[in-house]
Structure 1
Amino acid sequence: MSMIKVLIIDDEQHAINVLVDNLKGYKNYTLCGTAKSVEEAISLTQLLLPDLVFLDIILDKKTAFDYLKAFLPNIKFNIIFVTAHNTYAVKAFEYSALHFLLKPIDSEKFREALSRMNDRVSEEERLLRLESLEHNLIRTNGYKWIHIATIEKKYKIHSKDILFIASDSNYSHIYLLDKTKITTSKTLKHYTNLLQDSHFYKVHKSYLVNTEHLKTYNRKTGILKMKNNQLITVAERRRSRFSKLFFS
């Protein structure tokens, strides 16, 4: 088994130490260097050619993207982003389908981060995900780029283009404005957690709707019509709150 060369980039020495200590338990990974600044990180990356980079998002007055832009469009190394626990930042990573590790780091989180590296993606796909992450880390009126993988293909879609998401047991059907339907193995709960702080509302145990794409809503029957004329019934116990939030 070939050795995997690891570079750690973080502007805090104690954070570097934690990663170094955790890495010692993995025989096929070898530490080739550490860096505390973007400039030092760029220089070491060019010199050492690491296979895997642990990359902190904030590097003094610069960011991980200042470092990554030095290697575009051909980033040859895998990346595990390291970030302080922040709900908004975590969602940005989940939207973008990128690997990340939360601080404070423990051995179990570290192990899980390394295990996820088996998910190999093309250089083109990695670039798309990185572009999405940079966009998603900046608040953009609640909308985000989302990466979705299905059996047939991979999609990069903007959440503003989602009409609604329907549950189908352990699967979800995502309906877009352009009439595309995407079926994924993620549950409706997954998308509810991901989109709940945006323009989406779970009107029924089986439906999550983009409230900006509502056409009409009948308060008496609880039936709403989406822009594509799809009729969806709001669950009775959710009608009062739904009406107050969007029609008061």
Structure 2
Amino acid sequence: MIRVAVIDDEPLARDGVIARLAEHSDIEVVAQYGDGPAALAGLREISLDLAFVDVQMPELNGLDVLAALPPAQRPLAILLTAYDAFAIRAFALNAVDYLLKPVDEERFAEALERARQMLAWRRRDAHACADDTVAAAPRPASRLAVRIGRREVYVDVDDIEWIQADGDYASLHVDGRTYLLRESLHRLSARLNPERFVRVHRSSIVRADQVVELRQLINRDAVLRLRDGTPLRVSRTYIDRLTAVLRECGGSV
């Protein structure tokens, strides 16, 4: 069970997140807070896996609440914001994603799935040496099986440069070749290492170390260029996560 707290000074927004979480049987909402000081005091007293945190709150904002907690006590966080820009430092505070208000259903599910995956990796690492009987948490995929006629071809994930949605399929771009995988981009993104592969648009995922240029546009969208010259649009709902990952891996921003 994943223990969750919801922190937002807007009661309707807070109730909306809690209602969405109620649809997931592996989620237990153990606390909710309407302001930063109450959240900070409460989080110091409870054990928590994940927090949905409003960025903009009076007195003490969401990022300051996370920063005030000791790293060992800081939960993973999904940030909630009515604005499409905020400090990149958020991703140094265990923020795995952020959701732009009003929250989109698909983005909510995607952020929650990313948090599940990161929690599974954390728990696997914590128990790996303590108990050999603990079931292994799912690891990021290392190879993907692609059907070509009667053949099954195995594509190394580390060779994939970028991925494009194609209806119920995903087009894997590998060294000038394209492989068609029967899997939606949403499901595939949950199987990839989020420190290497980043969703940049509803229709595309890129391997972060392939990005050589990122150009901001006036509307807060952006355009990136890959090593092979491919240009891709970056939606504003993904730009901050992409920028954070590029900085972590030493990419150009």
Q: Please indicate the TM-score interval, normalised by the length of the shorter structure.
A: 0.3 to 0.5
Larger Rg over CA atoms: 1
More helix by share: 1
TM-score, normalised to structure 2, is: 0.47
